[in-house]
Amino acid sequence: MKPLRAAGMLAVSLLAVPGLCHATVYELTAPDAVLFGREERVVTQYEDTLYDIARRYSLGSEEVIRVNPGMDPWLPGAGRQVVIPGQRVLPSGPREGIVVNLPEHRLYFYPKPEAGKPQRIYTYPISIGKMDWNTPLGKTKIADKRKNPTWTPPESVRKEHIANGEPPLPAVVPAGPDNPLGAYAMRLGLKGAYLIHGTNNPIAVGMAVTHGCIRMYPEDIEELFPMVKVGTPVYLVNEPVKIAWAEGQLLLEAHPPIDAQGQTTEPDLTVFEGLLETALGESVVAIHWDRARTALQGARGMPVLVGLEAESGETVVPAPEAPPEAAGEPVATGATAPAAASQ
């Protein structure tokens, strides 16, 4: 299969790649653009940790650790090459307001475009709910915003702290460095106290560690907060498998799925293959099933080239139950009408 060409591959242009602690911001240079960013490599300094590097590049710690297996996240050592997973596919669905893709542990913000200017995208890593504190799905909105919020721990959270042998929580935690909401909070229009907020524990951003809320790096929520108005729509989606077309080439991005409690689980290959087939719809595509299965099962969160757009008259072959014997030959799948490249 031919490699992706560097020139002309993306229909989204990079506005700024943060050198230190801020959102990645892109402009959509085409209305149907779905793929943006780039994969990078950086070399560690002696004092670096993978947690430091993740925050520096506006990434969650887990997504950096996942694509650098076998590397000690606390002591990677000097002179080590670290993969920075900076290329990604936009989630499907509306391009307005805030879109949170829970398996990806990532928030996308689409501000209203200015007249005559392309749409911008701001994207940030997040933490989501853990265990029985799962983050809900569906459409909602920003119902309220607070700077320097106080936190009133629910009775269930106070009992959890005591059960875990931790000191009892006060009835109200004032604003300040000990407040787990950080300096900014935006309440969602859902039943219950669901917030998008900062944190006093930034190392955990990118993990399923919150009580159902959406937690952001302090510098990220500080940037997002003034851009978001009360009433902004918020879409909470569960999309572990995403695809993009780049000049007739099919890229697949898979993330570890989450269960009903918001916990990351091992990918079920059969389920993921079904999600891929659904995402492809009526497209005719020659898929390299070895690569596709490896990408689905690994769920590393990085776009991988897995297929080519097929000719309209090419014979359609369903997905095999086992990888094809000719590992180098792509297999056609889908319906008879080819889809136009959305990229």
Q: Provide the mean pLDDT of the chain.
A: 78
Q: What is the pLDDT of residues 277-325, one digit of tens each?
A: 777 777 778 888 888 889 888 889 999 999 888 765 554 444 444 443 3
Q: What is the pLDDT of residues 124-143, one digit of tens each?
A: 999 886 534 456 678 899 99
Taking Cα atoms as reference points, which of 295, 103, 74, 87 lies closest to residue 207? 103
Q: What is the pLDDT of residues 132-189, one digit of tens each?
A: 445 667 889 999 999 999 877 766 676 666 777 777 777 777 888 888 888 999 999 9
User: Could you give phi then psi for residue 138, rounded to 5 degrees?
Assistant: 120, -175
Q: Is residue 113 pLDDT above 90, yes or no?
A: no
Q: What is the pLDDT of residues 258-275, one digit of tens each?
A: 766 556 667 777 777 777
Residues pairing with 130 in the sheet: none
Instruction: Go through the domains of the chain in sequence order and give each one's CATH number.
Output: 97-107+124-238 (2.40.440.10), 241-334 (no CATH)
Q: What's the predicted TM-score (pTM) here?
A: 0.80
Identify the burial level of 17 via C-beta atoms within 10 angstroms of its C-beta, where 0-12 means exposed, 13-18 middle and 19 or more buried.
Answer: middle
Which residue type does 6 have? A
Q: Is residue 54 pLDDT above 60, yes or no?
A: yes
What is the average pLDDT across 238-248? 87
Catalytic machinery residues: 197, 213
pLDDT at 17: 38
Helix (H, G, I), strand (E, B) or coil at 157: helix
Please give the share of the chain, as a percent, with pLDDT higher than 70: 75
Residues 6+ apart with CB under 8 A from 114: none
Taking Cα atoms as reference points, which of 214, 252, 257 lies closest to residue 109? 214
